[in-house]
Structure 1
Amino acid sequence: MTKVSLGEYLSIGHSSAENTADDTDDNDATMPDSTSQTVKPPPPPLPHHSLIESTLELTALTDVGPTSLAAAIRTVPENFCIHSMHCYFVLAGDWTIPVIYTVELVRDGRSFATRTVQARQKGRCIFTTTCSFQRPSEGLGLEAQEPLPDDLPPPENCNDGEEVARRMVQDGRMTEEGFAAWKKTKAKDPFERRLVGIHNNNNPNPTTKRIRSWVRAKGTISAPRGAAPHLEALAYVSDSWFLGTLLRAHKAARVGMMVSLDHTIYFHSPFRADEWMFLESDTPWAGDQRGLVHQRICGKDGRLIATCFQEGLVRVIDLKGEEEAEADVAGNSGSNRGEGGARKESKL
């Protein structure tokens, strides 16, 4: 079985290295020492590229998923397309040192190819994902998907959260400094967003609620529809505010810590990440200090682009009164934190 070590994106300095089947030593022993790598400097912004393309060139340690996907895509034939990736956040990472991505070529078949990617620091695995690729199929097949909501407003008719944030300042629930910091973070976000709202927000059953929004990458991504940069951009945005679905649905809970445990994406059809995409999230289950969230991502034309699942550790401090909970949900629906005051921690 062949393994390819990629010192790309967050680090450079080692070219691809192959370990033959005769190499039976522990992987940590053969892994290049991350201290010998050279950290790749941030690329200058390119006016003819989307901001997300520059962002993915030096992805933050909290977002190793898109970078791992990029590493896996580089090892499969061009006519194979990603159809699923299953990720696990294993250990806390250190943003001050490079990450080495190791791609294992698990299987190369006529119709499917499988890759396992490990993100490593100091010889330890901090993140792992298994990606499955499929060659485009021919012939008859089943086709079905859930349509868009009938009452869904277009993104042009939805607010970007600033109106809500300003109202929070007026109500004394956000300081002027906090608003300025929110604006600064929003300006750096490689995606622009429009908030639709929470369907069934007043229903006491949190599993019936649907958190809805529109999102698209700022600028124009230089690659054609369905190419790797669009896939990586979707992997990046699919984790934004996703676990916060729990806080918006369980609005009477005050959470002290949220940690992403795993993340799964099923890719369904080609798309452009710089065109408006509809995101709808819900939470079908919570228990044992964990919560499960589900998300569907559709194109503006209604095509289902991707389906995502994520599970996280959720530690509740106490339960709030209904009036206080309503205020928190209204405020955080437009804020960048989006976690109902929770301290969201990622193992990365």
Structure 2
Amino acid sequence: MSAPAAQEVLDQLVALLDLERIEDDIYRGVSPEHRSTRVFGGQVAGQALVAAGRTVPDDRHVHSLHAYFIRAGDPRVPIVYMVDRVRDGRSFATRRVTAVQHGKAIFTLSASFQLVQAGIEHTTAAPDVPGPEDLPRFAERVAGYEERIGPVATGPRPIDVRYVNDPPWVARESGARTARNQVWMRADGALPDDPLLQVCVLAYASDMTLLDSVLSAHGVAWGLDRVRGASLDHAMWFHRPFRADEWVLYDCESPTASGSRGLATGRFFSVTGELLATVVQEGLLHVAGPAEPARVS
């Protein structure tokens, strides 16, 4: 996409995260029109975090969230987010958010916000990988696979994603198997200077490519194999300030899969090598046909 077109798609995401206030601690969000089956998990997580963040003072910044995906969201109707102000302390504030559709909870999120405080610091080393500018854009990676992969390949993409290793659909064709997936990401345009929005956009993006590491360990890819999957839970810890419209490396791997569930962990690094955020997600994954146990590096 051209820069103006990319910015327009990103602006649509920003508008998606700008919830309507219905009443004290109650907000309403909508889904993009192009979503036809179910609500993207990153969207409901980002919107729920917006709802939580709007009930805390500006000097408290989110440092962690823990969420459960309970039911598939219906993109045809709005989602109502109800915020419970669990605690407001001197340094921390805790919020619980329930997302409701058709009178039932589809998602719950607990988030903790902290007053900025000085303390000891260290960070693990970032992986040594090529920079984002040296890697092909997403459109180049999906060329020739559009019809088989479907809307994931052709739909609007507010996040610029550049794979360090081969994407799952390419690795599947080559027979390569690895439980690690690395991509550079950034919002594809400029975001407003709102710290909460920056975090919510990263939360939105964190649900992208994460479970790929589970499937790639078995040579399986979305769209090319008969895979049915859904996020079960999602946790994030935010370690340092960042901008979601600047490049971050998303280093994901899957330590285990069993019982039709796969676990994936992700780490976001800045271009200067600092660890910005940590992600853990478990997903429900049904793959048609037998799947052999895999031990991969």
Question: How would you bin the TM-score normalised by the shorter chain?
Answer: 0.7 to 0.9
1:287 corresponds to 2:250: no
Mapped partners of 1:256, 1:94: distance in 2: 20
Residue 236 of structure 1 and its aligned partner are, at CA, apart by: 0.5
CA RMSD across the alignment: 3.1
Are the equivalent residues in 1 in contact too, given 2:123–2:275 (CA < 8 A)?
A: yes
- Residue 15 of structure 2 aligns with an amino acid whose one-letter code is S
Structure 2 match to 1:98:
78
State the TM-score, normalizing by the size of structure 1.
0.67
Deviations 1:183-222 (A, max 9, x none): 642xx200111111069x89x997x742111111011112
Structure 1 match to 2:136:
159
Structure 2 match to 1:195:
163
Mapped partners of 2:49, 2:106: distance in 1: 15
Structure 2 match to 1:133:
113
Mapped partners of 2:111, 2:255: distance in 1: 25
1:234 corresponds to 2:202: yes
Which of residues 89, 94, 102 in structure 1 aligns to 2:69?
Answer: 89
Structure 1 pair 128–303 and aligned structure 2 pair: CA distance change class (3 A): same
> Any unmatched runs of 5+ in structure 2?
1-5, 19-29, 33-38, 293-297
1:109 corresponds to 2:89: yes
Structure 1 match to 2:189:
219
SS state of the match for residue 165, structure 2? Answer: strand
Residue 164 of structure 1 and its aligned partner are, at CA, apart by: 3.7
> Any unmatched runs of 5+ in structure 1?
1-44, 322-348
SS state of the match for residue 288, structure 2? Answer: strand
Identity %: 37
Which of residues 26, 46, 50 in structure 2 aligns to 1:70?
Answer: 50
Structure 2 match to 1:40:
none
Structure 2 match to 1:324:
none
Structure 1 pair 92–220 and aligned structure 2 pair: CA distance change class (3 A): same
Mapped partners of 1:246, 1:179: distance in 2: 18
Residue 295 of structure 1 and its aligned partner are, at CA, apart by: 0.3
Mapped partners of 2:151, 2:228: distance in 1: 22
SS state of the match for residue 318, structure 1? Answer: coil
Are the equivalent residues in 2 in contact too, given 1:259–1:312 (CA < 8 A)?
A: yes
State the TM-score, normalizing by the size of structure 2.
0.78
Deviations 1:9-44 (A, max 9, x none): xxxxxxxxxxxxxxxxxxxxxxxxxxxxxxxxxxxx
Mapped partners of 2:281, 2:123: distance in 1: 21
Deviations 1:43-85 (A, max 9, x none): xx986x7553234344453221100000000111111110111
Structure 1 match to 2:283:
312
Structure 2 match to 1:124:
104
